[in-house]
Amino acid sequence: MHILVSNDDGILAPGIGLLAEACRGVAHVTVVAPDREQSGTSHSLTLHRPLRASLRPDGAYQVDGTPTDCVLLAVNALLPERPAFVFSGVNHGPNMGEDVLYSGTVAVAMEAVTLGIPGVAISFAGHDLEMLGSYGPLLTRLVQQIVAVPEFPADTILNVNLPSVPASEVKGTMVTRLGSRFFSESLTRMKDPWGREMFWVGGGTTTWTGGEDSDHFAVAEGFVSLTPLHMDLTHYPLLDTVRAWRLDP
């Protein structure tokens, strides 16, 4: 079995090394990742310049593009065979609720699914890298269970979030749905040295909502959150309403 591992934090991020090592316990692994941090790039592609993939001494490839670029290049040009799975992460920070629409980590798994390959995105809800390092054995067990699934559902990715506690304190796993989060004061207005107005996106305060079956609740309570996400965004209950519209002149 061959597994592709990528991320959006960049080739040097500790999380990708941890995930690659966990995957090596069950398969041959190739790492193809951006040469720098690409957080928040979502499912973007590099269309207006060529891409370069450089082979590193450790056998991994670094790409001067987005996380989605990395999957495209890996599957269509760099790997000797089509991977059986694509694992993304471990991201330094959570990807829950609406985060999945912005996340380059989740986009790696999404691109895999569009290519017909099962995709799994894994994120850590904390920022303590020493704590993240304690998750090696747990990740190995998780990867083993995922690759043992006889037939991974089509058009579906698995979004995993690890809680911000040492692995020894994890209470278990919860199968969850997406919660919802609201950013306030996340746009900062400022001026550059020449007095011109500019804006910085980020920071502020995050407010989470969602019941006891939501990803945020699970992670906040010390559980590993497992959220299956479907690529079909169609809102089927509204189809008949829209069909009844008469927009012809």
Nearest to 43 by CA among 8, 73, 77, 18: 8
The pLDDT assigned to 234 comes to 94
Per residue in 195-241, pLDDT (tens digit) is 999 998 877 777 778 889 999 999 999 999 999 999 999 999 999 99
Residue pLDDT, tens place only, 51-103: 999 999 999 999 999 999 999 999 999 999 999 999 999 999 999 999 999 99
Sorting pLDDT into bands at 50, 70 and 90, what band is 150?
A: confident
DSSP-based three-state secondary structure for 243: helix
Give 175's strand partners.
Answer: 226
Q: Indicate the range of 115-119, 144-148, 152-156 predicted with least confidence.
A: 152-156
This prediction's pTM: 0.93
Torsions phi, psi of 69, nearest 5? -55, -40
User: Are 67 and 51 within 8 A, CB to CB?
Assistant: no
Burial per residue of 220-237, b for 16 or more beta-carbon CB atoms within 10 angstroms, e otherwise: beebbbbbebeeeeeeee
**CB-based burial, 94-113: b 16+ in 10 Å, e otherwise:** bbbbebbeebbbbbbbbbbb
Q: What residue spans define the domains of the chain? A: 2-179+211-243
* Residue 124 · residue 15 · CB < 8 Å: yes
Tokens 């592709």 correspond to what residue? 4
Architecture of domain 2-179+211-243: 3-Layer(aba) Sandwich (3.40)
